[in-house]
Structure 1
Amino acid sequence: MLAQKRLVALSAALLLSTAGAHAAESFNRIASFPVALNAPDAEATSSEIITASEDGMTLIYSDSPGGGIGFVDITEPGAPKPAGYLPLEGEPTSVAIIGDKAYVGVNTSESYTAPSGKLVIVDIATQSVDAEHALGGQPDSVARNKDGTLIAIAIENERDEELGDGGLPQMPAGFLVIFDVEAATLKTVDVTGLADVFGEDPEPEFVDFNDNDEIALTLQENNTIVVIDGKTAEVTGRFSAGTASVSDVDTKRDGALRFEGSMSDVPREPDSVKWLDADRIVIANEGDWNGGSRGFSILSRTGEVLFDSGNELDHTAATLGHYPEHRNKKGVEPEGLEVATFGDTQYIFVAEERSSLIAVYKDTGADPEFVQALPSGISPEGVVAIPARNLIATANEADLREDGGVGSHVMVYEMTDGEASYPQLVSDLDADGRPIGWAAISGAVADAEQSGLLYAVSDSVFHAQPAIYTIDATAMPARIIKKTVITRNGDAAQKLDVEGITLDGEGGFWLASEGDSAKLVPHALYHVDADGAIQAEVPFPAAVLGGEKRFGAEGIARTGEGDDETLWVAIQREWGDDPVGQVKLLAYKPASATWGAVAYPLETPAEGAWVGLSEITIHGDFAYIVERDNQIGDKAALKALYRVPLTDLVSAELGSALPVVSKELVRDFIPDLAATNGYVLDKVESFAIDADGVGYAITDNDGVDDASGETMFWSIGAL
């Protein structure tokens, strides 16, 4: 019951955080910096651990795949600039700054069994190496103390996850190194024999100093935290991170969001650790080996659990459409942490690698208070706060450019008075007090009578539980208030990839499903009642399927009544029988079960891109059509709304020369997509016009699969 009460409070906080008059201060993203600008010739580049110069004007991040560190000028934080890149011989894992020097842990290991590494000291102004110190093993986290006199380095000597069952022990053992900055000397701290789990093979992961020069060190796979006196290098404490039990979580990767599972006595296996004060620490429970408790915890310096977030992070991500169902063994996977004081308030920032969110909490001294969740690129790894400038920055490690995705980004946020700009769409709790899980919005239609009421559908990401979502667009943020599962003979319908929805005029809906013969998913239309039960299936005719390609139906709209009722279906890309640069708008008349089509002229794609349709909706005398390219970020060139006169929608017989409709541009969506200062998202897949003529657009977040999970929902006003 306590967990459910906290979830209700969290849901209320999500609404209040964007509710203008209620919001005092919020963090909002003000810039996104693609780190490839620092290394334009590199095949892959990543920002992982990030820190800031003491004046707060420069960010420095470690780039493991690129083999160097990158510099970002944030003198104007809303307009970051590339400021240089320093290649280092090895794999940088972490970086800390003292004065005008950067201290970089660099992995130079030949193998898992022969680990090695070094501490590289870099002059920030000249971006040159001043000195190197051998560490005797593979470094992971690097941290400095408050006075800038000591550096602590966690020497992980990481395990080979492909060896045997990927478990422990795998020698050699890890340890801790303390570097005296003034004397330039190293002390090695033996941490073997301290953990209850494979104590002979400690796996140091993350370090942090408190103001008394005490070091908290996580031994992740050993599920242990060690406290070390940084001045004497003596171990002064050790304790297990313990276990946690979570309920109402999604534990199955089955193409459905069902928060009905539980996990008992799961090791926390913390990654990051931060001191909250001299007596409390906070840990991010990544669960890298046997763990998966999915949360963060606050512990006393002797190991007493003062707070555990339980399922809060998972549930919050689910209400925001960010829950990673396709890889949910560890839920949202809390990994990175930052603790900083802005004004009189200390905040905890939790980086969630798999949901691509930063959860922001106020440290109250007791149970922390949820503030907001920030969208953060793909796979946030590092977070740094710059309170003197009211800024935080995140390093998001995924580089998906090789597969046509977006590259790694550094994102900058500012605390200001006023409302939060994200989220723009959230879900309510269901009747059992669990979140209405959602993602991958792929089509929408508005209610015929009630203004601001929309119905949207999910695509094949949730193939085991396709659904219709009812959205209250008048709320701020917009709210999913109901989820209706699409069923066949009483069970959740299979073999659907729903990409379009329109009203049937009788309280139900027509759905358009994009087929894929390779997966035995038919190209078809489905008639469902108000409860989502399939009443009829209409397969595409042979005259259409003869030119079949995978990119099929991407929207459906309805005109007319009775014998004149026509369903217009937008086909995304050219099929085999289409002229280059033209796609079909299929026309199906239910009364006569006949098909026809017209041709729609596509814009010319940029080199290496394609252009296709994403949505069709009809309002007044026009059909409104979303046309877009398949590009993301700075390569995105076309995301736009066009309209076609209904007088042009006079279908011809399939197989004949199709009449080509005329079109005119209504709105360029790229400025809308750039409005929240992230990179331009690629999939504007839904557009609906409500009873008052107000247009609403929604992006598809691909179910957080190789995507940031960010969903944009906005109105373009009355048409």
Structure 2
Amino acid sequence: MLSLTSRLSLLALAVAASSGAHAEQFNRVASFPVSQNLPAANWTQETSPEIITATADGQTLVYSDSPHGGLGFVDIREAEQPKPAGFLALEGEPTSVSALGNLVVTAVNTSESYVKPSGFVALVSPDQMKVINQCELGGQPDSVAVSADKSLVAIAIENERDEDLNDGQIPQLPAGDLVILSVKDGQLDCNSMKRVDMTGLADIAPSDPEPEFVDFNAQGEIVVTLQENNHLVIVDGASGKVINHFSAGSVDLEGIDTEKDGALTFTDSLKSVLREPDAVKWLDNERFVIANEGDYQGGARGFSIFHKSGELLFESGAAFEHEVVRAGHYPDKRSGKKGSEPEGLEVARFGDDTYIFVLSERGSVMGVYRDTGAEPEFVQLLPSGMAPESAIAIPSRGLLASANEKDLVEEGGARAHVMLFKWSDAPAAYPQLISENDTAGNPIGWGALSGLAADDKEPGIVYAVNDSFYKKQPRIFRIDATEHPARITAAIDITREGKTAGKLDLEGIASDGKGGFWLASEGNVDKEVPHAIHHVNAAGEITRTIELPSQLLKHQSRFGAEGIALAGDTLWIAMQRPWGDDPDHHAKLLAYDLKTGQWGAVHYPLEQVSEGWVGLSELELHKDSLYVIERDNQIGEKASIKRLYRIELSALKPRPLGEALPVVSKTLVRDLIPDLKSLNGYITDKVEGFAIDVSGKAYVVTDNDGVDDSSGETLWLKLGTL
């Protein structure tokens, strides 16, 4: 237990921290796709930066890449323009890396099988791109850490379980342990190896400790997480003696989503959830922080701070996950398991403050907290790229780097990245859109935004719809765009006969001028979702449905209605891509006369690309013009068409369906690619929504695909007056 003096000291630190003014924030300055470290012939192979470190001079980043069996190097002498610095193949699978001055120590798995684990630890020179020396470990290593005085190296020997054997239940032998090595004459001293037995400590599977993560404090003490055993161990690095050990305990969670059901509902609770920590970092010589990912039977979705005596000093509960929710990064597909899954951690001092960086693996975001000595102060969320595994701070340069392991090259998606952030007095650029709490005090869940529509009367008020990713929760969101970040202030559920409306894929929204809305729903015959236009009142109740005519549907594709606009008595609907009766590279703009019920159309000429496809995402009426978003389906460096065009309303002369349709002329208003690069991430494919408010200010929103095979980032772009 902490003494009264210690408690008063912590309280004083908290008061001092809360009373100070903190203007500094972190902002992303660069994104480096690690595929650039591959030879051109191998560029399409999967890569995965997992654990990252930086050399002592702060000029080079080094990351472990398990799929490629080696270490990657990134030149960050110019932080805003990182460059590939090479790749070193190792004879095995690197699991971790840690800096030893301007050298790095890496742990490498060479196991023949789960029951015959093996591995080695190596000292590597980034300058010479070679292994200096290595020591056999006699087991499968996971985390590696170097002491502050650079005299010791600690390696967690996990000897991981086979999750397909007996449903992954432990114990599964052989048991893992902790290995401690000395550094002598600039090399790893293999003869100094100490093995610290960790069996018999935990209650869950005492014969199979499964050490996961290690970290040194300035006194040379090592904290070790035994994740599956939900246990924490403190070891004296010099002697290898276990100083203390204790359970990581459990937590009761309130206001969370526990169902993978296509809806974001944060009204559930769970009792006695085991923390099962993954990463651990010392905050000082007395306290450490753990990320409660869970990998066995728990996963408390947050982070906790312990004193090395075993006393719990702070528990985040659902608070961190709520920040993830508000920023649109919550992964509904993980609700039934571990939610946003905080896995990685970094702790570092910038200026006068110590910061805690909590990495959400599934939410693809980093939470930044200021250590107060008591309850940490939430500072901001950082967009991290897909599946951040680890981060490294370089305070001497005011930099932070994250390693994001997910690579979607086989699916044609975004590549795995290392991302760089800079600490400065500039305001936080991200998130650009967040949600407030609902009337019950729970965060409004959101994501996969598609169409936008401006309020008829109030400047800066915009409405958005989500698409079918949230099939059980179609919604209209009210957004106050007058602030930074813009704020979702309310969510209106779309209902039919008093129940949540099904079989919708909402892609477009337009005000009806009377408090209600017209909604464009993109059909999908394979999922029995009809192509249709729906009218809803201010409460979200569907009052009218207009199905597309059979003459059109006989040529249908799943790429249907994307945008909708109301001009007088005519609804204009943008069809995303050509259907069977359209010429190549032409999509229809449908016209429906609300008075006569007659359909007509014109053809819109699409740009042509050598890879992928081009289609329409949005329609918006403003004054005497229809504005159209036209985009390709490419991501990152392959993206070329993300554009805003304008069509003179007077030039739109629809012809009846079945006749030869006129081709409209379009005028380029804005190339959106520079806007999509403004946050220094990779270019997203889905520019989905566009609106112009009554004051003439324009807004663009991107679709984050519900954080499914996506970084979860939503860009809310304020284009000003066009």
Structure 2 residue corresponding to 1:106, chosen from 102, 105, 108: 108
1:142 aligns with 2:149: no
Partner of 2:223: 216
Query: Match of 1:675, SS?
Result: coil
Cα deviation, residue 575, structure 1 = 1.0
The equivalent of 2:255 in structure 1 is 248
Residue by residue, what CA displacement relative to the aligned partner does 1:579-600 show, whole Å, maximum 9, x if unpaired? 1100011111122222111100
Q: After alignment, is 493-502 or 587-596 more displaced?
A: 587-596
Distance 1:165 1:313 in 2: 30
Q: Does 1:568 align with 2:567?
A: no
Please tell me the residue identity of whatever aligns with 2:693.
Answer: D
What is the CA-CA distance between 1:34 and the residue it aligns to?
A: 0.5
Counterpart of 1:454? 462
Query: In the alignment, what sits opposite 2:523?
Result: 515
How many angstroms apart in 1 are the aligned matches of 2:248 and 2:85?
40
Pairing 1:352-501 to 2, within 5 Å after superposition: 352-501=360-509
Mapped contact 2:107–2:155 kept (Cα < 8 A): yes
**What residue identity is the alignment partner of 1:530?**
A
SS in 2 for 1:49: strand
What per-residue deviation string (whole Å, max 9, x for no partner) do you get for residues 683-703 of structure 1? Answer: 110000110111100011111
Offset, 1:164: 2.1
Partner of 1:122: 124
| Root-mean-square deviation over aligned CA pairs | 1.0
Quote the offset at 1:608 in angstroms. Answer: 2.4
The secondary structure found in structure 2 opposite 1:37 is helix
For the residues of structure 2 that align with 1:38 and 1:255, how far apart are their CA atoms?
Answer: 38
The letter of the residue matching 1:591 is: K
Q: Which amino acid aligns with 2:598?
A: T
Shift of 1:717: 1.3
**Which residue in the other structure is 1:609 paired with?**
612
Amino acid at match of 1:322: H
Alignment check: 8 A CA contact 2:57 2:102 kept = no
Aligned residue in 2 for 1:649 = 652
The residue type equivalent to 1:336 in the other structure is G
Deviations 1:9-64 (A, max 9, x none): xxxxxxxxxxxxx8611000000000000014151111110000000010000001
Alpha-carbon shift at residue 532 of structure 1 (Å): 0.3
2:358 maps to 350
Q: Which amino acid aligns with 2:290?
A: I
Q: What's the secondary structure of 1:165's corresponding residue? A: helix
- Distance, in Å, in 2 between the alignment partners of 1:100 and 1:400 is 32
SS at match of 1:110: coil
Cα distance in 2 between the residues matched to 1:659 and 1:110: 67
2:295 aligned partner: 288
Matched, 1:58 2:49: no
Residues 23, 418 of structure 1: 8 Å contact kept:
no
For each residue in 1:535-566, what CA deviation from the matched residue of structure 2 results, as whole angstroms up to 9, or x when unmatched?
A: 01111111111111111111100101xxxx11
The letter for the 1-side match of 2:697 is V
Q: How does 1:499-648 map to 2 (within 5 A)?
A: 499-560=507-568, 565-605=569-609, 607-648=610-651
Change (3 A) 1:23 1:474: farther
* Counterpart among 171, 174, 180 of residue 173 in structure 2: 171
SS of the residue aligned with 1:616? strand
| AA partner of residue 282 (structure 2) | W
Equivalent position of 1:297 in the other structure: 304
Please name the residue that 2:277 is paired with. Answer: 270
Distance in 2 (alpha carbons) for counterparts of 1:303 and 1:585: 66
Q: String of CA shifts for 1:609-648, please: whole Å, max 9, x gaps.
A: 1101100101111110000010111111111100111122
Cα offset for 1:418? 2.5
Output the CA distance in 2 between the equivalents of 1:418 and 1:690. Answer: 28
For 1:40-90, what per-residue CA distance to the aligned partner results, in whole angstroms no more than 9, with x for missing partners? 415111111000000001000000111111000100111100011001111
Q: CA deviation at 1:99?
A: 2.4
Identity over the aligned pairs, expressed in percent?
Answer: 58
The runs of at least 4 aligned residues of structure 1 exceeding 6 Å deviation read none
Q: TM-score, normalised by structure 2?
A: 0.95
- The partner residue of 2:712 within 685, 706, 709 is 709
TM-score when normalising by structure 1: 0.95
1:317 is paired with a residue whose SS is helix
**In the alignment, is the contact (CA less than 8 A) between 2:347 and 2:355 conserved in 1?**
yes
Measured against aligned partners, the alpha-carbon deviations of 1:354-387 in whole angstroms (never above 9, x if no partner) come to 1111100011001110011100000000110001
Aligned length: 693
Q: SS of the residue aligned with 2:469?
A: helix
- Could you tell me whether the CA contact under 8 Å between 2:280 and 2:288 is conserved in 1? yes
CA drift of 1:650 comes to 1.3
Match of 1:693 in 2: 696
Note the 1:15-94 alignment, pairs <5 A: 24-40=23-39, 41=42, 43-94=45-96
Letter in structure 1 aligned against 2:421? Y
Does 2:669 correspond to 1:666?
A: yes
Q: 1:340 aligns with which of 345, 348, 353?
A: 348
Structure 2 unaligned regions, length at least 5: 1-20
